[in-house]
Amino acid sequence: MNCSQLLKEAESRFDTGGLSTPGLDAQVLLAYCIGRDRQSLYAHPEKELSYAEVTLFRSMVARRIKGEPVAYITGGKEFWSLTFEVTPDVLIPRPDTEILVEEVLKLFGRDDEVRMLEIGTGSGAISVALASELEQVSITATDCSPEALAVAARNALNNNVGERISFLCGDLFEPAEGTYDIIVSNPPYISEGEFNLLAPEVREYEPRRALVAGPDGTEFHRRLVRGARPFLIDGGWLAVELGEGQRDALEKILQESGYCDIVFHRDYAGIERVVLAKMRR
């Protein structure tokens, strides 16, 4: 069978199965199978696939039909125009998190010497993206999952920034030492009630510990905001992702903890997604 025929077959199955992006999913999976980019599928729709390629593709289609995310099937995801390995041990990087990277980059010049701490690094997407842009940055990235840290370390090496990031295992600030110019985090911010309403491909496949943060979704934020104080220099920044509708709760937590210059930034859908706040002693 050729590319065109296999794409039509997979897209039809995905559409019947109720997947939201049947065409895109089919293209990403087929491109992965033949080791080409998606553009080549259009340039050479008549390309015949080997028996092994067809078998692999159909096995991937079957996994996708069951709800497994495309990124876990292929083992990779693009973020900040970089390629990241992803496994079920880490969250799949989302485009909205690029807002956090963008806002942090506005605070520093490319050649500034910056000491940065990331809490809950997961796949390492945030730290790796920032290290790719800030040539003099020194990043400490923590996570409580050894498996996630192994993925993050490989991503740093594969994107040529391994020498600028140190990965440490522990809960929140437990393995951190010294002070930092900025602390960044994309923490869990889904409430326990909201978790049951998530799409099955998120709820059943992505790590729950990286998603859920107590009854109202701000449990991790409270620990993060208060715990960051001893690790920030005077005038240092805290940059954190948050969930929809959490602005008021986060603003109150930050104000009560002594932060100032609190600013919220919206994502591509207009949702307040990132908050920056400055520490004053």
Name the architecture of domain 3-66.
Orthogonal Bundle (1.10)
User: What is the pLDDT averaged over residues 33-48?
Assistant: 78
The Cα 63–Cα 260 span in angstroms is: 48
> Under the phi-then-psi rule, with left for phi > 0, alpha for psi from -120 to 50, and beta for the rest, what region is 35?
left
Name 277's bridge partners.
Answer: 238
Q: Of residues 35 and 132, which shows the higher confidence score?
A: 132
Report whether pLDDT(76) > 90.
yes
Eight-state DSSP code of residue 17: T
Q: Kindly report which listed range (46-50, 152-156, 274-278) carries the lowest average pLDDT score.
A: 46-50
Residue 39: its pLDDT value, please? 77
Half-sphere exposure of 64 (CA within 13 A, CB side): 31
Residue 155: its pLDDT value, please? 98
Half-sphere exposure of 177 (CA within 13 A, CB side): 4
Mean pLDDT for the chain? 93
Which percentage of the chain shows pLDDT scores above 70? 100
Eight-state DSSP code of residue 107: T
Q: Of residues 262 and 20, which shows the higher confidence score?
A: 262
Residue 35: its pLDDT value, please? 85
3-state secondary structure 143-183: ECCHHHHHHHHHHHHHCCCHHHEEEEECCCCCCCCCCEEEE
Residue 22: its pLDDT value, please? 92
Report whether pLDDT(40) > 80.
no
Residue 56: its pLDDT value, please? 94
Report whether pLDDT(38) > 80.
no
The Cα 153–Cα 167 span in angstroms is: 7
Q: For the chain, how are helix, strand and coil distributed in percent, rounded to 5? A: 45, 20, 35
**By the 8 A CB rule, do 159 and 191 touch?**
no
Q: Which two tokens stand for residue 56?
A: 């692999």
Q: pLDDT-based confidence at 224, cuts 50/70/90?
A: very high
Report whether pLDDT(41) > 90.
no
- Domain extent listing, the chain: 3-66, 76-279
Task: Please write the tens of the pLDDT for every residue from 185-214.
Answer: 999 999 888 898 888 889 999 999 899 888
Residue 135: its pLDDT value, please? 93
pTM above 0.85, yes or no: yes
The Cα 39–Cα 43 span in angstroms is: 6
Task: Please write the tens of the pLDDT for every residue from 90-120.
Answer: 999 999 999 999 999 999 999 999 999 999 9
Sign for the pseudo-dihedral over CA of 148, 150, 152, 158: negative
Residues whose CB falls within 8 Å of the CB of residue 27, separated by 6 or more in sequence, listed in order: 7, 38, 41
Give me the phi and psi of 51, to 5 degrees please.
-60, -40
**By the 8 A CB rule, do 165 and 105 touch?**
no
Q: What's 76-279's CATH class?
A: alpha beta
User: What is the pLDDT averaged over residues 138-157?
Assistant: 97
The Cα 172–Cα 136 span in angstroms is: 24
Q: Taking the CB of residue 156, how many other CB atoms lie within 10 A of it?
A: 24
Residue 48: its pLDDT value, please? 83
Consecutive H or E run containing 16: helix 3-16
